[in-house]
Amino acid sequence: MPPAKDNEPSPSGAADPAASKGKEPEVVNESEGEEEDEEEAGAEGTAAAEASSGGKKKKKKKSKKKKAAAAPAEEESDKVGAETAQKLVSSLTDSQLKQLWSMNPALNNEITAGGSKEPTRQNVMEMLQKMSIHDLLTGMPSGRGAVKDMGAFKFWKTQPVPKFGEKISEEGPMQVKTLDDVAKQPDPLPDGFEWVTMDLTNEDEMKEVHDLLEGHYVEDDTAMLRFNYSMSILKWAMLAPGWKPDYHIGVRASQSRRLVAFISAIPVDIRVRKAVITVSEVNFLVVHKKLRNKRLAPVMIKEVTRRSNLNGIWQGLYTGGNILPTPVSTCRYYHRALDWQKLYEIGFSPLPPGSKPSQQIKRYQLPDHGKLKGVREITADDVDAVLSLLTRYLERFDMAPEYTKEEFIHWFVSTTQDREERVVWAYVVEDDNGKITDFFSFYGLDSSVINHNKHKLLRAAYHFYYATETGLTEKVDKAALKKRLNELMHEALIFAKKLKFDVYNALTLMENPLILNEHHFGGGDGNLHYYLFNYRTAPISGGVTKTNRPDEEKLSGIGVVML
């Protein structure tokens, strides 16, 4: 099954720190020490490691040469990117062009800025041919070098995913196979590399995965931020109910035994409209930076697909920041400052023209206590009532998970009160009669701030699942629902602030479009595209309008929150 977030075989995901920043900060280069480390990894598997001190000096010299050549190389990359983009655009049919711009609200907004509701092929061509490959695929400005990832399209043409412009007349699997159709052995890797199954119950092997993600997973286009997954969140995400060792797939360099690539999946049941299917939810695809020219990612995707198939799972669910064939839905990231001063200092949030830092700090101030009565943390005794509430609430959406009691406990009932070890926070609202009427939650995910002289860590809270009886009346009162959801969000922001989070992030999924404006959420730089593997379904609303703003009328049909 395909990847959730990695910049191979598609450009970097929007579910990354790049989606969060309010303005483009100055590019920060990483340390020479890390470059040397990458050179070493790049040499593994193709030649014996150099043991002499002379070998180390040679690496340093090579790093310096690379820096000196960086500017002309980047200019050449831009030129190649523009030429490739123009060739790609010219080859698209009318229906493919229309789908490409309509799937990306940011592009749509640019193309229709002149007032035309239905732009001509010439309008679209003129706009798209001015863009780089990355802009073409995301509608958002990018760092350099995305053109090398266009090989991804060749890979996806071989996979059971809908083509651009394909009309969906019938929903369901695209391929039907049996176990006899599944290869019993994995595809071969390049010389010098070998498959391994990682034992994530072993602390040392989990630490290897952690370290690989820490150094080489998703970062923003300016190398300002990089996801910093804690050991706790990795266990929470990858050792969920139903996990199997087979789904923790690694690649090691044969000589050094170093872990250089990894991908994982967990089996989950989701409902797509009326059909309930078991899918492999794929995440944490990472390849060492200097090995991405080995094209390991497509082989790893095929391997996690093979292993899923051997376990009787034929569909997959994944997300990405770039348009691949073909999104089921597209949501946009929104961000709400909790510590505006810190966000401003690291380049995450801009200072609006004509404003002062003191004004922004005041704008994002929160009270010490909320207003809702009966708000408290969830306990084990609440599980049955809250699971029932959430299950009924998720029926409102076109695509949503089907949680068992065991899964609910895993995802929402924390086993620790230690702030540094804890991953998820969930709360309920209890009325005067002891009935639970509301539920909301968020999880924490830090990002490393790269090469900043003051701040080393950005603490982000992510809006998770919620439910309210207000939305479950026979005829939903939308005004009342909006009021209640905003009250719940207000409580969530206060709790997150007390827990020392710096920013609160939310997507335009579920009914989030009703709560973003009132709480000063700002639009992020990225979209998140939802994909189904080996399953064809009609598009689902992502909660954004054609101008890429929260859609309070249509809302979103997406009820799945991906980590």
Angle between helices 405-412 and 383-394 (to 10 degrees): 100
For residue 487, give the amino acid letter. Answer: E
Tokens of 345: 């200092």
Q: How far apart are CA 330 and CA 13, in angstroms?
A: 13
Catalytic residue chosen out of the listed positions 107, 324, 507, 563: 563
Q: How far apart are CA 260 and CA 49, in angstroms?
A: 15
User: What's the sign of the alpha-carbon dihedral 33, 39, 44, 50?
Assistant: negative
Q: How far apart are CA 199 and CA 259, in angstroms?
A: 13
Q: What share of the chain is helix, strand, coil (3-state, %, to 5)?
A: 35, 20, 40
Cα 421–Cα 424–Cα 428 angle in degrees, nearest 5: 135
CA 72 to chain centre: 32
Q: How far apart are CA 402 and CA 405, in angstroms?
A: 10
The question of whether 563 is a catalytic residue gets the answer yes
Residue 552 bridge partners (DSSP): none
Q: How far apart are CA 219 and CA 229, in angstroms?
A: 12
**DSSP summary character for residue 366:** -
Using CA atoms in the order 179, 185, 190, 192, what is the torsion angle rounded to 10 degrees?
150
Three-state secondary-structure class, residue 529: strand
**DSSP summary character for residue 165:** T
What are all long-range contacts of 189-192, with beta carbons under 8 Å and residues at least 24 apart?
189/251, 189/296, 189/299, 190/45, 190/294, 190/296, 191/45, 191/46, 192/44, 192/45, 192/46, 192/253, 192/254, 192/255
* Among candidate residues 558, 562, 530, the one with its CA nearest the CA of residue 273: 558
Tokens of 464: 């998770």
Say if residues 211 and 327 touch (Cβ distance below 8 Å).
no
Length of the chain: 563
Q: How far apart are CA 138 and CA 529, in angstroms?
A: 10
Write out the catalytic residue numbers. Answer: 563
